Chains A and B, each alone.
Chain A
Amino acid sequence: MSLETPGVQTFRPQAFHRQAHDALGNPQIRANFRGAMDGLMGKRREAFADWELERLRELGASVRLRALAQLPTLLERLEANCQANGIRVHWAEDGEAACRLIRELCEARGAKAVIKGKSMVTEEMHLNAHLEAAGIEALESDLGEYLVQLNDQTPSHIIMPAIHLNTDEIADVMHDKTGIPRTRDVDAMTAAARAQLRERFMAADVGITGVNFAVAETGTLCLVENEGNGRMTTTVPPVHIAVTGIEKVVEQLRDVAPLYALLTRSATGQHATTYLNMISGPRKSDEQDGPEEVHLVLVDNGRSAIYQDDELLDTLRCIRCGACMNHCPVYTRVGGHSYGTTYPGPIGSILMPHLMGLEATKDLPTASSLCGACGEVCPVKIPIPDLLTRLRREAVGEGRGNVPGAGSKRTRTEAAAWKAWQWLATHPAAWRGAAGVAGRLGSLTPSRLGPWSDHRVAPKPARHSLHALIKRHRSTTDEEGQS
């Protein structure tokens, strides 16, 4: 990535194995994630207990599919209706263009201080680093994001950015970085952060947030949040800049209801969040508060390339609830930072290869046992395991070749091994012969089998294969039949 803030702890997808190794060996990280994910899974289960979940997921999926099916038209309608509401709409082809655009909007207002609501798309484009390089301070106001920023880290979860920290670690951050007396009292720390942030809201020149749903029909920007920081960010500073990936558009206002019901329950197990902001324009002449200017920045950053492929476009259904990572046995054990990408976990493993290329992210699509837990809980029914498999094909050059870095994981050795396997498995006599040889060598086969046997006893080929056993079984049952 071109821009990284100096001092910020960096993780890279190329180093997945090492980062995962470190996380697996860190009892604190293991305990923090296991505990948090168990809690989130339990809350989600309870939240959906009284619902016909399958029908709701079907509805959610169909809303998203309907929006994606007419994406270009809906984006134009969104632009027109936002403009009619007084929201200025900007288009950015990639993250760099979006950063430049946002910086220029800030500079036009002479802004020095920006307050931010939670936005993963701005993490994706490293907006904070970009603004800071231009002398504009960008402060995160979501409590988790605030902690992560204070701690010179990046989010480890898309909904709960500081989930990798426990209370003691947060107490350290709050004490060391903000100077409050050291306390483990969560309410006291929250109150301190609230007071600290309150001043910054008042002093901010610009508020920047993400968008959960952008409604084409009405030109409405929906922002789902719990802490009120989203409401503050979008109402206190004189300028509000909303930033979103182009896929977040929905057709109609009524589409928001099922998606919102699915989002909050899937993410945190809440029936509703504390705040659901529906922003439909700047302050009107007869209104007391609200920003003078509202901007919407629509960011492509690789999404229209994903959209070109009728299978991969399912990736764009995502409503960023994080349920896939909460339920992922791999994410639960290695944590979010191991992935080294903005979006970790299953959704990251199907999205990031498009944004960063398969060469850099080649270990992510394989970092799944294809257990299907992600696909099972996805509120919009993204077939995540199928997409992981598809990206594995692309990585070894047996897909459609339309993902950046396609084929970069193919090695001559592995390809040859699979060809040899193919030959054996399509020559039954040779297969049976090989099984027979393996069986006879059973006791001679190595008891060490690479990393497998570091933790498990190596399996021994059976002395007689099933082919052989059934043959023998047939001859005995035939004899019985004859006698």
Chain B
Amino acid sequence: MTPIKCYPPKPPRVYLFGTCLVDLFFPEAGLDAVRLLEREGIAVDFPEDQTCCGQPAYTSGYQDEARAVAAAQLDLFPEPWPIVVPSGSCGGMLRHHYPKLFAGTPLEAKANELAGRVFELTEFLVHVCHLELEDRGAPETVAMHTSCSARREMGLAETGPALLARLGRVTLVEQERAAECCGFGGTFAVRHPEVSAAMVEDKSRAIEAAGAERFVTSDCGCLMNIAGRLAHRDSSVEGEHIASYLWRRVGK
């Protein structure tokens, strides 16, 4: 049973773990996450030496390499502030897999302590910031794609849609088989490209069929996959990270 998580009161300061996909491909999403947090009066500390959580190697079986990279991240968050991650996948890695990765090693206690203060961005905005949003955007029909890690590993099927529901001019539609994987799966898309392609084709068609003008997700892997598929066949539907979408509609 997923343990009930007790959320802390809104803190004055947090860390941001930006994730490597955001860093390299969707940096605006990371910056928009910072802006959303600052808007709540929270100072955001972005340790400059952060790189990658180690998940790509971890799920490929290269555990030693993953552990070395993860160990380098463990040192970067010394203060007891929450660590906000704009990704359910990387958040799940930090929260659920770091303790396993370091079990029985001298870093076990450190990994457990860090895991306990990891929050996925939408989780943090809903449960800690109790974010209120005044929608200044144009009316739009939007579908949310919640990543499998956010949905199942982190138990956060509701937080993304909850934020979108607070946007007064956004009509949220649910695509058929919303809980089904988009087919990204990190290196899965590389190792089994045909199966992955069949999955993302179905996912992108479902989003279109739901009547969405746009889809929003909190994971850049899914974003790259689904938006890449939609663009490949010149669909009018675009994808966006939820941080960017929220900031664009409510920002200053």
Contact = CB atoms under 8 A, between A and B. Distances in A.
Interface of A: 17, 20-21, 24, 54, 58, 329-330, 333-334, 363, 366-373, 375-376, 386, 389, 392-396, 398-399, 409, 414-415, 418-419, 421-422, 424-426, 428, 431-432, 435, 438-439, 450-462, 464-470, 473, 477
Contact of B72 (A330, A368, A425): A425
B46 interface: yes
Interface string B16-33: 001010111111101100
B26 to A, nearest CB: 7
A439 B57 CA distance: 23
A386 B26 CA distance: 29
A459 B64 contact: no
B41 to A, nearest CB: 13
Please provide the 6 A-B residue pairs with the shortest distance between their CB atoms, ordered closest to farther. A369-B185, A456-B228, A451-B193, A392-B61, A371-B181, A372-B152
B134 to A, nearest CB: 22
Nearest to B73: A425
Given A373-B181, A451-B194, A457-B231, A466 B57 contact: no
B4 interface: no
A418 B60 contact: yes
Contacts of A415: 62
B112 interface: no
Contact of A393 (B25, B61, B199): B61
Contact of A426 (B68, B100, B181): B68
Most chain B CB within 10 A, of A21, A373, A439, A477, is at: A373
B25 A459 contact: yes
Interface stretch (B7-15, B48-56, B117-125, B160-168): B48-56
Contact of A398 (B61, B181, B224, B225): B61
B191 interface: yes
5 contacts: A370-B148, A371-B185, A425-B54, A458-B228, A470-B46
Contacts of B181: 329, 369, 371, 373
B199 A456 contact: no
A366 B56 CA distance: 13
A470 B228 contact: no
Given A392-B61, A396-B60, A467-B48, A422 B68 contact: yes
Given A435-B23, A451-B193, A454-B193, A421 B188 contact: no
B109 to A, nearest CB: 21
A367 B50 CA distance: 30
B30 A469 contact: yes
A21 B31 contact: no
A396 B190 contact: no
B59 interface: yes
A165 B104 CA distance: 50
B61 A333 contact: no
A329 B28 CA distance: 31
B197 A455 contact: yes
A483 B227 CA distance: 41
Interface of B: 1, 18, 20, 22-28, 30-31, 34, 38, 46, 48-52, 54, 56-65, 68-69, 72, 100, 148-149, 151-153, 179-181, 183-201, 224-225, 227-229, 231-232
A21 B194 contact: yes
Contact of A366 (B46, B63, B192): B192
B225 A329 contact: no
A24 B198 contact: yes
Given A398-B64, A418-B65, A459-B224, A370 B23 contact: no
Contacts of B201: 455
A428 B51 contact: yes
A54 B1 CA distance: 6
A418 B60 CA distance: 10
Given A421-B56, A461-B24, A452 B190 contact: yes
Nearest to A461: B24
B17 to A, nearest CB: 11
A386 B56 CA distance: 15
A330 B183 CA distance: 9
Contacts of A409: 61
Contact of A450 (B51, B62, B193): B193
Contacts of B56: 421
A176 to B, nearest CB: 31
A456 B232 contact: yes
Contacts of A459: 25, 224, 228
B51 A431 contact: yes
A466 B152 contact: no
A395 B61 contact: yes
A184 to B, nearest CB: 29
A455 B232 contact: yes
A20 to B, nearest CB: 6
Contact of B59 (A389, A460, A473): A389
A418 B185 contact: no
A425 B57 CA distance: 11
A467 B2 CA distance: 34
A407 B56 CA distance: 19
Given A452-B189, A454-B197, A470 B65 contact: no
A24 B199 CA distance: 10
A95 B198 CA distance: 37
Nearest to B58: A389
A452 B68 CA distance: 28
B60 A392 contact: yes
Nearest to B189: A452
B27 A464 contact: yes
A466 B153 CA distance: 26
Given A372-B152, A467-B18, 15 more contacts: A17-B194, A20-B192, A24-B195, A367-B192, A370-B186, A370-B188, A422-B68, A428-B51, A428-B72, A451-B190, A452-B190, A467-B46, A469-B31, A470-B18, A470-B46
A245 B200 CA distance: 38
Contacts of A333: 195, 198-199
Contact of B183 (A369, A418, A468): A369
Nearest to A435: B24
Given A421-B57, A452-B189, A462-B24, A369 B196 contact: yes
A466 B48 contact: no
B61 A394 contact: yes
Contacts of B51: 424-426, 428, 431
Given A54-B1, A398-B64, A460 B232 contact: no
A371 B148 contact: yes
B3 to A, nearest CB: 12
Contacts of B46: 466-467, 470
